[in-house]
Structure 1
Amino acid sequence: MPIPPDSAGVDRSLLRDDVYRRLRDAIVDGTFQPGEQLKDGELAEWLGVSRTPVREALLRLGASGLVVALPGRSTRVSSIDAQAVRDARDVIAAMHELAVRQITGRLSDQDIERMRKANSRFADAVDAGDIAAALDADEQIHRIPVAALGNQAIATVLDQFDPLVRRVERLRFTTDGHASVEVHARLIELMAAGDAQAAASVAFELWHTLPADS
């Protein structure tokens, strides 16, 4: 497994979640390609941490479907499986629909403004072709209602299945993310107006615009 030579290490005090996010993002952005073997020792050296948080992160990535672990053999980056993506997309859509339906009308003005600013950052990133920044801003938009709702079960489900879909999202934002800017804006304004039914419908349909066969 070739470790990127120009990638700086991270502080040894990294929390397990930080290690997980670094490895997740490296798979999503294509640093580690489908079929590539991941060795915990090399990854630990790359990140500047012990093997323990790396092994824990690989287990989480396995649960998300981003890696496939063969007992006693190796851990490899999974291929993009259309059925698995469709299944994950459908679950994610249902969770966001539920969160938006329940929090609309109770979301603070500050949270609405944070969503608007995140969508502005998303638009700027799409215009600049900065796909990593677009993915980050997109995640912020959708996670604000989830965080405000405070339903840990929804958050846990999203944490498990989001990474699998992010790889396909990246492909969409690479070709055209401008349509998402408008849909995000519509979702935000419906939530600001307190229209829970319409906002939930947009939240659900937004995820179903994602082609699972990419």
Structure 2
Amino acid sequence: MSGLAKVPRSLLRDEAYESIRRAIIDGTLPPGTNLRDADLAEQLGLSRAPVRQALLRLIEDGLVESKPQSYTRVAGFVPDDVRDALQLVRALHEFAVRAGAPRMGPAEVAAMRAANARFADAIASGDIAAAIAADDELHDVPVAAARNRAIAATLARYTPLLRRLEYARFGSLPAHRSIQRHAELADAIEAGDVDVACAITATIWTELEDLLETP
């Protein structure tokens, strides 16, 4: 019998990164939590090496902070950092819509509408994880249509800072307004009105900034 191929170390690193990042975003690992690579490795069923690599990436993302020979911990929530990320994410989504909308047809618009339906159902049931997943799916459609890997990679890095805000302020989310904005965005793309689609996209992400003022 032929042997099984070993799982590449890079995949283990990515698995550790996704697991720890998800726990930080949803609050399972709250701000200030000490992160010991040995403990995390045991919980994840991995060796310490991929966990260390994952923590380095999370430090670059701004979700973890570290002081050599002192601590590695979940970073605190810094409104100015989130505001900076919001401005960048908004601009990149506008760019993606402008580049991607002309390439989008009925299938892409239908995918956006289906994601918005899932978003509405998740909001109604109070399932923030499902709501955020559906929101990501909706906005990923024009990003994919834009065919710009730099945009996709940058959004993947900075969007988690915003999702962390949404988890922390879920009770203040302008949910029903977001459902309507999503529908308007799909309508504008379907109608071929790129300028309106870009304006709606900007509004969606600008309204999220209001959550920074929520106590």
Same fold flag (TM > 0.5): yes
Contact 1:134 1:173 in 2 (8 A): no
Partner of 1:8: none
The AA in structure 2 aligned to 1:81 is: V
Q: Which 10-residue stretch deviates more, 161-170 or 81-90?
A: 161-170
Q: Would you say 1:117 and 2:96 are equivalent positions? A: no
Partner of 1:150: 147
Partner of 2:189: 191
Rounded Cα–Cα distance in structure 2 between residues aligned with 1:156 and 1:36: 27
Write out aligned runs for 1:35-50 (5 A).
Answer: 35-50=32-47
Contact 1:131 1:174 in 2 (8 A): no
Q: Percent identity?
A: 46
Deviations 1:42-90 (A, max 9, x none): 1111111222222222122112211111123221111111111110000
Write out aligned runs for 1:13-52 (5 A).
Answer: 15-52=12-49
Q: What is the number of residues matched between the two proteins?
A: 203
Rounded Cα–Cα distance in structure 2 between residues aligned with 1:42 and 1:174: 32
Match of 2:178 among 174, 177, 180: 180
User: Aligned with 2:161: secondary structure?
Assistant: helix
Shift of the alpha carbon at 1:33? Answer: 0.7
Higher CA-based Rg: 2
Consecutive unaligned residues of structure 2, counting only runs of 5 or more, are 1-6
Partner of 2:205: 207
Rounded Cα–Cα distance in structure 2 between residues aligned with 1:15 and 1:117: 32
Write out aligned runs for 1:133-144 (5 A).
Answer: 133-144=130-141
Shift of the alpha carbon at 1:181? Answer: 0.7
How well do the aligned residues superpose, as a CA RMSD in angstroms? 1.7
Are the structure 2 counterparts of residues 18 and 184 from structure 1 closer, same or farther at C-alpha, using a change threshold of 3 Å? farther
Contact 1:126 1:173 in 2 (8 A): no
Contact 1:37 1:77 in 2 (8 A): yes
Q: Would you say 1:95 and 2:92 are equivalent positions? A: yes
User: Aligned with 1:105: secondary structure?
Assistant: helix
Partner of 1:70: 67
Shift of the alpha carbon at 1:173? Answer: 3.5
Partner of 2:4: none
Q: Normalized per residue, which structure has more helix?
A: 2
Match of 1:105 among 96, 102, 105: 102
TM-score (norm 1): 0.88
The AA in structure 2 aligned to 1:203 is: T
The AA in structure 1 aligned to 2:180 is: E
TM-score (norm 2): 0.88
Rounded Cα–Cα distance in structure 2 between residues aligned with 1:197 and 1:28: 33
Consecutive unaligned residues of structure 1, counting only runs of 5 or more, are 1-11
